[in-house]
Amino acid sequence: ISNTTIVPSTGAPGLSGGRGGGGGSSTKVIQVTNVSPSASSEQMRTLFGSLGKIDELHLFPPDDPPLPFSSRACFVTFHDPDSAVAAQHLTNARFVDRALMVVPYAEEAHFLISAAI
């Protein structure tokens, strides 16, 4: 289980009901943690693309990083908020060699991360 989940605790715009949790969350962004080091961006795009149109996908560390790592995180921005809700049902789904953790993510925080990269 990863302890790197970052979800704003305040009711930010883009999230209904505070932190969200499916069924009413209007965010289009999900955070996926506990991603296998051997999973690629293309594999993540294929997995989540089956749920709806993806506007953005960022995998950290990126494919072929210079240093070794033990786990990855992925941020997926869907075109439709319903796809993000559906994606949360993949929590605990085994992908490559890990059980994924999928949570809604505040879009405003996602853009701050994108801008910092």
Q: In the chain, how many domains are there?
A: 1
Calpha distance 101→99 (Å, rounded): 7
Q: Considering the domain boundaries, does residue 81 fall inside one?
A: yes
Flag whether 20 is in a domain. Answer: no
Structural domain harbouring 87: 29-116
Residue-wise pLDDT tens for the chain (117 aa)? 444 434 433 333 333 333 444 445 689 999 999 999 999 999 999 999 999 999 999 999 998 888 999 999 999 999 999 999 999 999 999 999 999 999 999 855 545 555 555
| Cα–Cα distance list, 1 to 13, 34, 64, 77, 100 (Å) | 28, 7, 24, 23, 9
Report if residue 10 sits inside a domain: no
23 within a domain of the structure (yes/no): no
Whether 24 maps to a domain, the answer reads no
Of the candidates 84, 6, 72, 76, the residue with the CA atom closest to the CA atom of residue 34: 72
Q: What is the CATH number of the domain that holds 72?
A: 3.30.70.330
